[in-house]
């Protein structure tokens, strides 16, 4: 029998016959010279034994009669009962299963591949972790297991890429210290000691505690523990980590920095945005009304910002040799790592030592924008409309300005009242 004869017998395509052979559902054919054929008796016997098909072909066959193949329907697979948020995809003859909460909605997270099929223990083990059911029964609920479950959760997947990278790095370090500790036995004193140990090594103690706090908050409704031990653990005071830039330092940068670096700093200052958002700005984001569309990578917010008059002058100086507004000296769009390297190289110049010694950083330009808006008399809501920050963060950024303004107003009232010494 040829491949077409077998396909006609099974009522399927010839390619399906070859697939069945590769999967072991049909016997392999024999080669007769350059031809590939199946022995009819062997094939029908195989179908009867494997698929439960009984054929009366041999009973009806005569020496001169043309053999009429018996129609054999393809075996039907039972319908799979899938758990919540699991999507089944069949491609190239194979079944794939993905954990994809809220698929097809705006709040959908990234689809995550599940191992095996619902008949495999590994499938359910991974599903329980992604679905937030914690560790399976019998598995120790350690910090290591909690970290693993949290890093695979949909809540973690919805974080910004940079936040996921930072959380994963810090929690992995914590896992090396606390990995075998039971999650329910961690206390605030343990977190405080970890924070102090990290402070000695200058390993981002405040940021690590923040990452732990997010994980422990996630674990409470999933019954890993009852409380968040990071609550009440104070941050280590670092002073003003993102000091605003004084005007003389901005002029110093203008005088000695390469133009592409200075232009990037000014776009950050006059839009009040983060470095990554500034580097992604494109000429097409500017509309005819003089507004620029900003898509914040960290928060996902879309902001329309009016262009400051000084920013319009700077944009007029920038050559349009790319779709992106900011480019390197070669006219190519900046990548964050490349810009960070160029920025550090620029501040390493002797002429810019005053900026370096003052501890000024690129993110301080964002704070400078908030401070200048506050000094101009803008409300917290107006400042938040520009920077995209929360009202609490705006208040934190501008508290020095508010104190200064209130002190001047208080002294003015005192002097206007008059009176003896």
Stretch 319-334: mean pLDDT: 92
Give phi and psi for 291, each to the nearest 5: -110, 145
The CATH architecture that domain 143-219 belongs to is: Orthogonal Bundle (1.10)
pLDDT tens, 331-342?
A: 899 998 899 899
Stretch 129-158: mean pLDDT: 77
Choice among 33-47, 182-196, 359-373, 393-407 with the minimum mean pLDDT: 393-407
What pLDDT shows up at residue 108?
Answer: 65
What percent of the chain shows pLDDT beyond 70? 85
What pLDDT shows up at residue 64?
Answer: 45
Say yes or no to pLDDT of 228 above 90. yes
Say yes or no to pLDDT of 227 above 50. yes
The CATH architecture that domain 247-406 belongs to is: Orthogonal Bundle (1.10)
- Residue intervals of the chain classified under CATH 1.10.150 are 143-219
Under 8 Å between Cβ of 287 and 308? no
What pLDDT shows up at residue 117?
Answer: 86
Q: Two tokens at 148? A: 């693993």
Say yes or no to pLDDT of 161 above 80. yes
- Where helices occur in 201-279 by DSSP H, the ranges are 205-219, 247-256, 259-271, 275-279
Under 8 Å between Cβ of 324 and 332? no
DSSP-assigned letters across all residues of 291-337: EEEEE-TTT--EEEEEPPHHHHHHHHHS---SSBS-B-TTS-BPPHH
Stretch 183-189: mean pLDDT: 89
Choice among 26-30, 316-320, 368-372 with the minimum mean pLDDT: 26-30
Q: Which residue has the higher pLDDT, 57 or 287?
A: 287
What pLDDT shows up at residue 56?
Answer: 45
Say yes or no to pLDDT of 63 above 80. no
- Residue intervals of the chain classified under CATH 1.10.443.10 are 247-406
Under 8 Å between Cβ of 113 and 157? no
Say yes or no to pLDDT of 258 above 90. yes
Stretch 47-71: mean pLDDT: 53
Stretch 218-223: mean pLDDT: 86
28/212 Cα distance (integer angstroms): 58
Alpha carbon 362 to chain centroid distance? 23
Report helix, strand or coil for 354.
helix
What percent of the chain shows pLDDT beyond 90? 34
Stretch 243-265: mean pLDDT: 93
Stretch 175-199: mean pLDDT: 89
Residue whose pair of structure tokens reads 């195989």 in the numeric block = 46
What pLDDT shows up at residue 262?
Answer: 95
Say yes or no to pLDDT of 134 above 60. no
Stretch 103-111: mean pLDDT: 71
Report helix, strand or coil for 11.
coil
């Amino acid at each position: 029998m040829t491949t077409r004869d077998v396909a006609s017998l099974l009522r399927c395509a010839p390619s399906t016959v070859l697939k069945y052979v590769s999967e072991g559902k049909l016997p392999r054919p024999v080669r007769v010279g350059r031809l590939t054929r199946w022995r009819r008796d062997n094939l029908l016997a195989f179908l009867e034994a494997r698929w439960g098909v009984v054929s009366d072909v041999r009973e009806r066959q005569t020496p001169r009669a043309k053999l009429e193949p018996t129609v054999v329907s393809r075996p039907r697979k039972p319908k799979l009962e899938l758990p919540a948020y699991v999507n089944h995809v069949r491609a190239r003859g194979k079944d794939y299963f993905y954990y994809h909460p809220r698929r097809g909605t705006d709040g959908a997270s990234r689809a995550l591949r599940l191992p095996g099929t619902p008949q495999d223990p590994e499938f359910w083990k991974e599903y329980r972790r992604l679905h937030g059911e914690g560790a399976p029964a019998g598995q120790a609920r350690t910090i290591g297991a909690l970290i693993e479950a949290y890093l695979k959760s949909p809540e973690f997947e919805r974080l910004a890429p940079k936040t996921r990278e930072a959380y994963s790095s810090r929690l992995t370090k914590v896992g090396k210290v606390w990995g075998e500790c039971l999650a329910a036995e961690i206390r605030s004193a343990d977190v405080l000691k970890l924070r102090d140990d990290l402070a000695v090594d200058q390993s981002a103690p405040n940021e690590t505690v923040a990452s732990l706090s997010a994980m422990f908050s996630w674990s409470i409704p999933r019954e890993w523990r009852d409380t968040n031990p990071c609550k009440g653990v104070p941050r280590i005071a670092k002073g003003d980590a993102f000091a605003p830039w004084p005007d003389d330092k901005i002029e110093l940068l203008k005088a000695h920095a390469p133009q592409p670096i200075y232009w990037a700093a000014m776009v950050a200052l006059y839009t009040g945005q983060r470095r990554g958002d500034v580097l992604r700005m494109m000429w097409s984001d500017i509309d005819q009304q003089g507004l620029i569309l900003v898509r914040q990578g960290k928060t996902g917010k879309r902001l329309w910002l009016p262009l400051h008059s000084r920013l319009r002058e700077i944009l007029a100086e920038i050559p349009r040799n790319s779709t992106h507004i900011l480019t390197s000296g070669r006219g190519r769009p900046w990548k964050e790592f490349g810009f960070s390297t160029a920025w550090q190289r620029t501040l390493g110049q002797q002429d810019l030592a005053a900026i370096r010694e003052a501890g000024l950083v690129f993110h301080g330009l964002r704070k400078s924008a908030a401070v200048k808006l506050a000094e101009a008399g803008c409300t917290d809501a107006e400042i938040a409309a520009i920077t995209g920050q929360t009202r609490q963060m705006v208040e934190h950024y501008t508290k020095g300005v508010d104190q200064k303004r209130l002190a001047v107003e208080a002294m003015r009232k005192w002097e206007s009242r008059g009176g003896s010494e």
